[in-house]
Each structure stands twice: as C-alpha cells, then as structure tokens.
Structure 1
Amino acid sequence: MARRRLAKKDIRALNATLEQFGVEFSKKDAVELVTMEAGTFTVVNGEPAFVSYDGLFFPHLKFLQTHTTNLPRLTVDMGAVPYVCDGADIMRPGVVAVDEGVVAGALVIVVDEQHGKPLAVCKALLDAAPLKEAVKGKVAENIHYVGDVFWKLTG
C-alpha cells in the first residue's frame, strides 16, 4: 500500500476532475491518494471519498453518506435492497423513481426508497425517458456497492 499526501497544486488539479460531480475540496483539507491492489482511493480528512479502478473514477459510498453530489439517482424498492447490496445489477421492476438527469453510460447513485441511503454507484444503461417507459430488463450496471471490496478495505 502506497500513501501520498497531495500538495495544494495537486488538490487544484483534482478539483478540476471532481467538477463533474459538483464536489470541491479546499486547500485546508488533508487529501491523500492511497494505492492498493484493489484500486486507488482518494482519502479526504481520513475518510474515503473517491475510487479509481479499471479506468473508472467514482465517489465512494461512505463519502456519499455524508456529502451530496450532482449525480442523478435511481430509487429502488426495499425488496431490491439485499440484491443490490450483494452486487446485483439494477433491474427495471425494482426501480420506483428515476431522476431526469439519468444518461446512458453515465454514473448514477442507487438509493433505497425508505431511507434514501446510497446503496450503490452504477453505470446507467438507458437514458431517463426510456428507463421510465421500460417494464423489464437491466437498467444499470453495479460498479460499487455496500459490502464490496472497496467498502471493506476502508473499514
């Protein structure tokens, strides 16, 4: 495991990347890059914030529990929760609400309908309108979920 604290100029460069998520870190934040076999984690003030893995860069679920981003959301019914938390892709019958900003190929946050808690970060397979009209099939590919390797590595 390699750990490196970012300088102020590196934080500025990182903020340019984070702009797509509507997130910005200040120069006062302690920002580190932690490289592990599973991927590279951006750690801010001791908490995991973002993950870089297999060419993808996405927010860590622990970060999403305490911070907001501009990523659109898919809301799933409570019956889908155990499957999503076990790494299953998101199927249309379990989706109860779709944000208008959902775009095919872009990241979405999957939340449960009862508490609105983030369960997964996924890649949408359909735009919002066709997704709302669909009645069956896979609508999002699960990338990071509660209980996966990224979750477990960060305690």
Structure 2
Amino acid sequence: MEIKRRYCLKKKELKRIREELNNIFGIEVIPKNANGELAITDNYEMILLNNEPIAFKLNDKIYPTLKTLLTHELNKGKVVVDMGAVRFLAKGADVMAPGIVDADENIKKGDVVFVVDETHGRPLCVGEALMDGKEMKESNKGRAIKTIHYIGDDIWKF
C-alpha cells in the first residue's frame, strides 16, 4: 500500500471521526486532545495517531483497525465465531452464518462489526453486517458479514 498524500487533521475533522467511532462502539477510542493525521492511499484513507493506524475510511464509512480493537475491550458490534472459521477469516473470507457462535443482538444490517474467535477472544476481522445480530445467531446458511479488513492484509501490515 502506497501513501499518496499525508496531512494533519484539523481538530474539527478529528472530533467528527472520534464521535463516529464512539457511536459505533460506545467507548472513547480517540483521546480528546489527540493530534491525528490522514494518510491517503490507493484504496483507503487511513486515520493515524502517533503514526499508528487507528481507523480507515472506505466508501464514506469509518472502520476501526484490528490494532485499535486489540487495545480496547469492546462488546458492542462483536460477533464470535467457532475455531473452524478462523483459517478462512485469516485469508479474508466473508463470515458465514453457520460459523457464528454468538453475536451482539443490537447489530443491524449495515452496521460496522468485528469478529473474534471463541477460544481466545482476539479480533480476526472487521466488516459490515449483512444480517441483524439475532438473525446471525439463528441462521445456519448464508453470508452474515462482508469482511473489509482482516489479519495479514495491507492495513494490518501498515
């Protein structure tokens, strides 16, 4: 991934991003007095704090990075998958409903969600819900989450 442009975010822009991430996960991901940067790449707009990617923007929607999820204890928007799904998710596959063990029932179709494994509870991927949370838990066929960012991809390596 090649950075085309990089510049400091204005306080107003960073506040909007902070509020959007807070709405997604219900906790403060970006500290109030933080200084951020925006790095424009081929595919994404990366939001950086101290040269670490904390979120990225794709199609006017903000997604947290897995590194951000590793440093915060989140339950809102969380989906748990069985260990059989891990190897597929590590290669960027979408999350299929049969592999889902548990999901936040407040998830609505189109929400930003993240997926963890059932054994360790470590984040595996970030994506967009294709079903409601309750439907994810009850369904035994179909795609439940479109994977946007996963372990080992360009954003992870950034």
State the TM bucket, normalised to the shorter chain: 0.7 to 0.9
Letter in 2 for 1:131: M
Change (3 A) 1:40 1:69: farther
- For structure 2, the residue ranges without an aligned partner over 5 or more in a row are none
Matched residue count: 153
- Structure 1 residue aligned with 2:68: 63
1:19 aligns with 2:55: no
- Alignment RMSD: 1.9
Flag the 1:144–1:11 CA change in 2: closer, same or farther, 3 A: same
The question of 1:75 aligning with 2:102 is answered: no
Percent identity between matched residues is 39
Is 1:91 the equivalent of 2:92? no
Mean alpha-carbon deviation: is it higher for 48-57 or for 116-125?
48-57
Question: Aligned to 1:19, what secondary structure does the other structure show?
Answer: helix
TM-score (norm 1): 0.87
Aligned to 2:13, which of 10, 25, 41?
A: 10
**For residues 70 and 10 of structure 1, do their structure 2 counterparts lie closer, same or farther at Cα, with a shift above 3 Å needed?**
farther
Contact kept in structure 1, 2:29 and 2:72, CA below 8 Å: no
Gap regions ≥5 residues in structure 1: none
2:47: which partner in 1? 42
TM-score (norm 2): 0.86
| Residue 134, structure 1, aligned to residue 130, structure 2 | no
Which among 113, 119, 131 is matched to residue 114 of structure 1? 119
* Mapped contact 2:21–2:64 kept (Cα < 8 A): no
